[in-house]
Structure 1
C-alpha cells in the first residue's frame, strides 16, 4: 500500500487539480447527509465559483483538448494503437470542444440564483456560515430530501461539462508518465522539469516521511520531511525510497 502525492508544475494544471478535488467534494454531499455536511458542500461550490471567476478555465481547456486531438491523430498512424479506443476518445474530445465553444459559461446562471447568491455573501465571511445567521439555508435544509437532491443535482449539472473535460485532460496527462523506483541517501531529489506538467509520487504507507515539492516547468526538487512535535516538521536526511512518475 502506498500514498499518492501529486504536484502540478504550472498554474493551469494546478487549477485543474483544484477543480477536480472540489467537484469530488461537492458531489459526495448527498441529500440525506447535507444537514451535517452543508458547509463542506457550499464551501466547495463557492471555491469552484472563485476558481472559475479568476481564471479562463474554459479557454485553457479548449486549447488542451485541441492539442490532445492533434496528438491522437498522430498516434492513430501507429500500427499498435487501439483504433476503437482512439476513435472513441477523439469523438469525445471533439464533442467537448464544440460544447465548450457554444455553451459559454453555463455555471454563470447560478450566480443569479437568489439562494446561492445570498449564501455566497455569508460564506465569504469567516465564521459567517452558521445556521443562526442563515435562516434561508435552514429553511432549505428542512425541505424534503427529494427536493434537496433535485437542487443539488441541478446546481452541479451546471459544471458537468467542465468537470468531464477536466477529468479527460488529467487522465491523459497522468497516463504520460510511468512510475520509476528512486532511492535517495539524503532525503532530497532534483531533476530537469522541462516539458513536464505534473509529478506523481508514491510513498509507502508505512514510511515515516512525506514529500514536499518545489519547482516549475524548467526544474523541480523533492524534499522529504519528517513530522516533528516541536516544529511541525523537519528535513529528513535518511535514506528514502519512492516511486516517481513524470507526466
Structure 2
C-alpha cells in the first residue's frame, strides 16, 4: 500500500515539511562521501529557512499543551494509566526543552558567520564551487568523521524542535479514526463529525496506479483518484473503475 498524507491545517503542513527535511538530513549525515555532507549542509539551511518563517516554537508548545490536556482527560478505567503518565511526562519534558530555547529558531545559525556566508552562496546555482568558496572546499576534504561531528554540533540547538515535531505528529497519527472505503469511479466524499480533523491519511494499492487528490474544510472531505500525470498535477480524467482504499482521520 502507498500512503499519502494530507494536512488539513497550515500548522500541520509546516510540521510535515520539516519532518521530511529532517528525514533527508539524517540520510545525508549518515553518508561518508563529501557530497553526502554537502547535501546535509544544504538541508540544514533548508530547515532554517522553513522554521524561520513561522513562530514554530510557540506553535509546537501550543500543540503539546493540547495533547497534554487530551491525555489527562482520558478516563482512567479505559486506558493504561502508566502508559498515559509516561506520555504526559514526555510531553512536559519536550515542552520544557522548547521553552528553554532562546530567540528565533534559526538564530543559532545566524551567529555563525561562516555558515551564513555559505548559506548566502548556496542560493546561487553552483555558488559553492571550490574556486568560489575555497574554505568550504577545504572543509569538505576533511575526514568524514570530523565533518559529521561538526554538522551534528551545528544542528544540536535545533534538536528540541525536532523532538517536538516527532512527538506531536506521533501522537496525532496514533489518534486515527480508520475507515475502509471505496471511491465509486474514483470519487469519494465524507462528512466530518466530532473533534477537528488535522490530518488525513490515504492508503491505496499501487497496482491500481491511481493518485489521490483532496479538498477539505471543517465539515467535509472530498477525495478524488486519478491516473498519474507527467506534469505532477492532479488528474481531471474520470476513472472507470472503483477504487478501494483506507482512510485515516487524525484528530487531537
| SS in structure 2 of the partner of residue 220 of structure 1 | strand
Instruction: Please tell me the root mean square deviation across aligned C-alpha atoms, in Å.
Output: 2.2
Q: Which residue is equivalent to 1:159?
A: 158
In structure 2, the gaps of 5 or more residues are none
- Aligned counterparts of 1:139 and 1:87: Cα–Cα separation in 2: 50
CA drift of 1:214 comes to 2.4
Of 93, 97, 107, which aligns to 1:99? Answer: 97
- The counterpart of 1:241, out of the listed 222, 240, 244, is 244
Q: Aligned partners of 1:164, 1:116: CA distance in 2, in Å? A: 24
Shift of 1:38: 3.9
Report deviation, 1:209.
0.7
* Bigger mean CA offset, 138-147 vs 104-113: 104-113
The corresponding residue for 1:147 is: 146
CA 1:215–1:132 in 2, change beyond 3 Å: closer, same or farther? farther
**Aligned pair 1:78/2:76, yes or no?**
yes
Count of aligned pairs: 245
**Distance in 2 separating the partners of 1:115 and 1:132:** 16
Contact 1:31–1:145 (CA under 8 A) maintained in structure 2: no
Q: Which moved more, 1:180-189 or 1:62-71?
A: 180-189
Q: Cα–Cα, structure 1 residues 127 and 92, in superposed 2: closer, same or farther, change >3 Å?
A: same
Q: Secondary structure at the match of 1:159?
A: helix
Report 1:209-220 matches (<5 A): 209-220=210-221
Give CA deviations for 1:193-237 in whole Å, capped at 9, x if unaligned: 461100001011222111122234343322212125699773341
Question: What aligned pairs does 1:115-126 form with structure 2 within 5 A after superposition?
Answer: 115-126=114-125
TM-score of the pair, normalised by structure 1: 0.90
Q: In structure 1, what is the equivalent of residue 113 of structure 2? A: 114
**How far apart, in 2, do the equivalents of 1:231 and 1:5 lie?**
14
Given that 1:178 and 1:246 are in contact with CA atoms closer than 8 Å, whether structure 2 keeps it comes out as: yes
Quick one: structure 1 residues 65 and 126, their matched pair in 2 at CA, closer, same or farther if it must change by over 3 Å?
A: same
**TM-score scaled by length of structure 2:** 0.88
Which residue matches 1:206? Answer: 207
Distance 1:65 1:40, change over 3 A: same
Moved more, 216-225 or 134-143: 216-225
Residues 236 and 43 of structure 1: CA distance in aligned 2, closer, same or farther (over 3 Å): farther
Residue of structure 2 in register with 1:188 after alignment? 187
Aligned residue runs from structure 1 range 19-98, under 5 A:
19-30=18-29, 32-75=31-74, 77-98=75-96
Alpha-carbon spacing, 1:62–1:231, altered in 2? closer, same or farther (3 Å): closer
